[in-house]
Amino acid sequence: MAKKLIFIFFISSLIMLAALAPSVSAHCPLCTAAVGAAAISAKYYGLNVSIIGLLIGAFGISTGLWIGLKINKEFFKFQFPIIVLASFFLTVIPLLYISNDSIYFPLLLVGEAGSILNKVYWVNNVLLGSVIGGLVTLFAYYSHIYIKKINGKVLFPFQGIALTLAFLFVSGLSMYFIFGV
């Protein structure tokens, strides 16, 4: 049942993105579709849910960036970051329950046992992966913008897609070896 819901969600999202795409902007629907396809492929090949969460978070941020850049007129203050965050949360929160797997982080710094800085925290694997994926996607996007600003143009075709997927691959590989997920 969960597989069907995820598949229907991603396919309907891709159809919606394709329908809204009369032109291409800096963060295009192709980038968004590439990350969505990577998430579906990761699930198909049986990767851990934290890696799938990484791609789900990247998909949410990528969709938010694309829609935020598509709206030319600013209707209210901080419109762009609010659209990006809303897209992230509206993508990640419904998908948190595809798995109940958790990872623990012992934060044993100071204080009595059970205090806020001396406690073991449990984090949902999908949430952990989604937050990392969202941050990595933002980093890739701003790296792409910076490279474009410095050189006055993109260095190669599909630079934004290549940077995003490369950073996601490296972070997914890092998660695999660091967290053992």
Residue 65 lies in a domain: yes
**pLDDT computed for residue 153 by the predictor:** 86
Q: Which residue has the tokens 């203050």?
A: 77
- Alpha-carbon distance of 90 to 130, in angstroms, equals 12
Q: Does 146 map to a domain?
A: yes
- The boundaries of the domain holding residue 34 are 28-178
Asked whether residue 135 is domain-assigned, the answer is yes
In this structure, what DSSP letter does residue 119 have? Answer: E
How many domains, in total, are found in the chain?
1
Give the distance, in angstroms, between the CA of residue 61 and the centroid of all CA atoms in the same chain. 5
pLDDT in the model for residue 20: 52
Confidence class for position 159, pLDDT limits 50, 70, 90:
confident
Residue 149 in any domain: the answer is yes
pLDDT tier for residue 132 given thresholds of 50, 70 and 90: very high
Residue 64: its pLDDT value, please? 92
Q: What percentage of the chain carries pLDDT values higher than 90?
A: 27
| Alpha carbons within 13 A on the beta-carbon side of 48 | 21
Asked if the structure places residue 170 within a domain, the reply is: yes
Q: What is the pLDDT of residues 40-86, one digit of tens each?
A: 777 777 778 888 889 889 989 998 998 888 887 888 888 999 999 99
Residue 2 domain-assigned (yes or no): no
Q: Is residue 14 part of a domain?
A: no
Residue 13 lies in a domain: no
**Does 21 have pLDDT greater than 50?**
no
What pLDDT was estimated at residue 22?
A: 46
